[in-house]
Amino acid sequence: MSDYDYDLFTIGAGSGGVRASRVAAAHGAKVAVAEEYRVGGTCVIRGCVPKKLLVYGSHFAEELQDAAHYGWTVAGMSFDWATLRDTVLRDVDRLNAAYTQTLENNGVERFLERATITGPHSVRLASGREITAKVILVAVGAWPVLPEFPGVEHCITSNEVFHLPELPRRVLIQGAGYIAMEFAGIFNALGSQVTVVNRSDQILRGYDESLRDRLLQITMARGIEYKFNCPITEVVRQDDGSFLVTAGRKDPVAVDTVLIATGRKPNTAGLGLENAGIVPGEKGEIPVDEHSRTTCPSIYAVGDVTDRVQLTPVAIREGQAFADTVFGNMPRTVDYTCIPSAVFSQPPLAGVGLTEGQARNRHGNVKVFTSDFRPMKNVFAGRMERGLYKLVVDANTDRVLGVHLIGPEAPEILQAAAIAVKAGLTKVDFDATVALHPSMAEELVLMK
């Protein structure tokens, strides 16, 4: 008989926690998981999945406008926010049930309440029950950061934006990262007047500069207004329910919704880490080694709570590696190089590997190949927006160090290109590949 109630107790049933729990159970461990809200985590419940569905919904505004060029007559067009919102939320319900079923099918016991750490091998549920476990896994993810200024209580974050009672006529978004740019595109396409304010003078730090510049130009042409070096200093609620927002030294702006998208921080507050001798980092993150083990040998952590790479597929890989290592006798680590990422802005952009700036800093001698083109669909519809594809190549070895794309379906195209970059293929390998015509993706193998 074990000295503990469970072999593994997981705190948090998001992507990383669910993967780790079910794989550990498949390896024969007795597993339980605690989740204080809903099974599925940020991505499924209040993040990338419902947001991508909103992106799809907003695309119809452009598609319906372009339909006439393809012979379609669409009369009486109108949009109902409540229909889209409720359809998205129903799909969230479906996914919550699917993730729950996955745990159930694998024999993982579930506690739908908050759990906190009380020691190296113990947790306490919100109901007061004490539980012991040989190993504890923390997979509680991250939470939106709210800056401090008068009236911040009137603002919403990406957690609440999916539940808006109606489509706001005027939206102000603070931040210029991927969350901010994606929601700016959604609201702009749906007809809202969108203003983006940011404390710095650039958007999407970390992405290739050429793509960032192109996205800025296109979104400004689409009607999104930007105010740089202008963090919000005050939000005042008006008698009619609207808000007067002061940002930087600019004149106040009247809006209906203020969305804060200034980043996310590890969700470790009140978790009880101190009871196991674990000291969080400056951002609240849990320090771990290459096997996701904390400074307490019986406690591990995966996903956004470690602040290594805040991406769902990374959390899943970390959860898999943890379970295989600790319960499957198959030690694994996660390779964090060449991780592809995308921004589902409008148009979307995606990248993998080194940006041009990063490549020049690390390798010095690099070659850059670009294709600046007008997608066929845009030509036929009379839209002037241009796509931009970019290959960053090591001039000494001919190895492709990075691929960066902006244009329709860029994320879908990049996934295959990411395999090539990860495999260390060269520009000659790209050139030797026959083009798939007519497609936008063919530009990847036609650059000279």
Whole-angstrom Cα distance, residue 63 to residue 68? Answer: 9
Q: Answer whether residue 273 shows pLDDT above 60.
A: yes
| pLDDT at 249 > cutoff 90 | no
Q: In whole angstroms, give the CA distance from residue 419 to residue 182.
A: 25
Q: Round to the nearest angstrom and report the end-to-end CA distance of the chain.
A: 67
Give the pLDDT score at 2.
73
Phi then psi for residue 160, to 5 deg, are -95, -15
C-alpha 315, offset from chain centre: 12
How many C-beta neighbours within 10 Å does residue 185 have?
Answer: 26
Tell me the pLDDT tens digit for each residue of 418-447. 999 999 999 999 999 999 999 999 999 999
User: 352 near 340, Cβ under 8 Å?
Assistant: yes
What local confidence, expressed as pLDDT, does residue 443 receive?
97
Active-site residue, selected from the candidate residues 59, 154, 404, 437: 437
Quick one: pLDDT at residue 344? 98
pLDDT in tens, 116-148: 999 999 999 999 999 999 999 999 999 999 999
Span 373-390, average pLDDT: 94
- What number of CA atoms fall less than 13 Å from residue 21's CA on the CB side? 34
Predicted pLDDT at 250? 84
Determine the angle formed by the axes of helices 48-66 and 81-105, rounding to 10 degrees: 140
Q: What's the token pair of residue 29?
A: 């461990």
For residue 192, give the 3-state DSSP assignment: coil
Packing angle, helices 178-189 and 48-66, rounded to 10: 40
Q: How confident is the model at residue 1 (pLDDT cuts 50, 70, 90)?
A: low
Q: What is the mean pLDDT of the chain?
A: 96
* Torsion angle defined by CA atoms of residues 290, 291, 295 and 301, in that order, rounded to the nearest 10 degrees: 110
59 included as an active-site residue: no
77-96 pLDDT per residue, tens: 899 999 999 999 999 999 99
Mean pLDDT calculated for residue range 327-345: 97
Q: How does strand 243-247 pair with strand 253-255?
A: antiparallel
Confidence of residue 56 (pLDDT cuts 50, 70, 90): very high
- Paired tokens of 102: 């996955």
Contact of 63 with 380, CB cutoff 8 Å: no
pLDDT-above-70 percentage for the chain: 100
Q: Which CA distances in Å does 427 have to 209, 339, 340, 391, 399?
A: 21, 19, 19, 8, 6
- Domains of the chain listed by start with CATH number: 6-143+265-327 (3.50.50.60), 152-262 (3.50.50.60), 347-445 (3.30.390.30)
The answer to which of 66-70, 103-107, 241-245 has the lowest mean pLDDT is 66-70
Q: Are 299 and 276 in contact (CB under 8 A)?
A: yes
